[in-house]
Amino acid sequence: MHEWSVGEGILRSVIDWAKENNINSVKRVKVAIPSFTFLEADILKEAYDTLKKGTIAENSVLEISFKDPVFKCRNCGNIFTIREVINEVEKVKDEFGEEYPLHLMSGLAPAFIKCPKCGSNDIEVSSQEIMIKGVEVNGTP
Ligand SMILES: [Zn+2]
């Protein structure tokens, strides 16, 4: 269900942006999603395609790419990606099932993730936002 609220959020941003820029038809929307939100791209697309009907984004295609969040340990300075701590994240996912906290509050991630080098929980997360990377409008080459 999370996909639907994300889809709605993306669509709303695109529509607001288009209105501000006097654009009346959107062709393509590119988004980058942090991989550890575990959003299903297919469901997100389906949500977007359903929600866009009747809006200026009706004929647009949603293009989804995933990006790996990067973490920095404040204790030892180690920089690591989600791939290095995926087992810890999976553990949390198993415990909480579909609605596990990372889904809703990615800011909580450091509570579950330990630095693979020194074991500290003092972790900074970067690039965990869903980002609209680009919007193509009709008339764009
Ligand atoms: Zn560390």
- pLDDT tier at 83, thresholds 50, 70, 90: confident
73 is in an annotated binding site: yes
The sheet carrying 79-81 orders its strands as 79-81, 70-73, 123-126
Ligand 1 center from residue 20 Cα (angstroms): 44
Least trusted range by pLDDT, from 20-34, 68-82, 91-105? 91-105
Q: Which residues contact 14 (CB under 8 A, 6 or more apart)?
A: 26, 29, 57, 60, 132, 135
Ligand 1 center from residue 36 Cα (angstroms): 20
When comparing pLDDT for 57 and 92, which is higher?
57
Q: How far apart are CA 107 and CA 88, in angstroms?
A: 16
Ligand 1 center from residue 93 Cα (angstroms): 23
Ligand 1 center from residue 61 Cα (angstroms): 41
- The CATH class of 1-66+131-140 is alpha beta
When comparing pLDDT for 69 and 78, which is higher?
78
Ligand 1 center from residue 110 Cα (angstroms): 12
Whether residue 100 has pLDDT greater than 60 = no
42 is in an annotated binding site: no
What are the residue ranges spanned by the domains of the chain?
A: 1-66+131-140, 70-125
Q: How far apart are CA 60 and CA 27, in angstroms?
A: 4
Tens of pLDDT, residues 6-64: 999 999 999 999 999 999 899 999 998 877 667 889 999 999 999 999 999 999 999 99
When comparing pLDDT for 66 and 103, which is higher?
66
Provide the whole-model pTM: 0.66
- pLDDT tier at 105, thresholds 50, 70, 90: very low
115 is in an annotated binding site: yes
Whether residue 69 has pLDDT greater than 80 = no
Ligand 1 center from residue 127 Cα (angstroms): 19
Whether residue 134 has pLDDT greater than 50 = yes
Ligand 1 center from residue 109 Cα (angstroms): 15
